[in-house]
Amino acid sequence: MTTDPRSRLLDAALAVLAEEGVEGLTLRAIARRADVSHGAPLKHFPHRAALLSAVATIGFREMRRRADDAVAGCPGGVGAVERLRTRARGYVSYALAHPAMFTLMFRHDLLDPHDRELSKVSLTCFEDLITLVDAAQKAGWRPADDARLLTGALWSGLHGLAQLWMWGSLPLATGAADVDHALEALLCAFGLNDVSPEGH
């Protein structure tokens, strides 16, 4: 573990989150994991929400990096629609691989609404998705729709699917064998299943 006090606290918070979930993220538990006094976290973060916002920022950055890597790894010649599908799959995949972090990232009741870094990175993730939506529209997918609203609708669908799958509600209600079947149904509902051989 790093010797920098702030980084030690963040490492400790990440460990607590992974092992105990969002509800385990108390200042006392984080301090204990970092092997510092109970009051130490407040010497480096003004309040618990600030510390948790820093943790959530790490989550958004990691999710974005993985999504960027997945899209960048698409084979040459793959078009805009398939790149959008790839990012959509990446969003759901990250959520299911890191359920506690994913939950924290959207627990606005626990986060600092004035945290600039968190606001910046979360908005950047949305703007990345808009860029792919806009490219897919230029390639012929729902070209008449407002790009920002369409992105919001797609994001809502992906987020809801991930959340309901984590809760066990979606597989119970639909009987889907795995999340890929449910995700493909969602993408199909948005018309993102029709990818031509040229990738457009």
Confidence band of 4 (pLDDT split at 50, 70, 90): confident
pLDDT score of 193 more than 90: no
| Rounded average pLDDT over 156-165 | 98
Q: What is the mean pLDDT of the chain?
A: 94
Residue 131 in contact with residue 67, Cβ under 8 Å?
A: no
pLDDT tier, 197 (very low <50, low <70, confident <90, very high otherwise): very low
**Cα dihedral sign, 60-61-64-70:** negative
Q: Binning pLDDT at 50, 70 and 90, where does residue 2 land? A: low
Q: Give me the CATH code for the 1-45 domain, please.
A: 1.10.10.60
pLDDT (tens digit per residue) in 24-54: 999 999 999 999 998 999 999 999 999 999 9
Contact indicator for 186, 126 with CB cutoff of 8 Å: no
Query: Band of the pLDDT at 194, cuts 50, 70, 90?
Result: low
- Looking at the whole model, is its pTM more than 0.85? yes
Q: What percent of the chain has pLDDT over 70?
A: 95
Domain boundaries, the chain: 1-45, 58-189
CA distances from residue 2 to 5, 18, 53, 123 in whole angstroms, order as listed: 8, 18, 20, 29
Least Cα distance to 138 among 130, 70, 68 occurs for 130
Q: What is the CATH number of domain 58-189?
A: 1.10.357.10
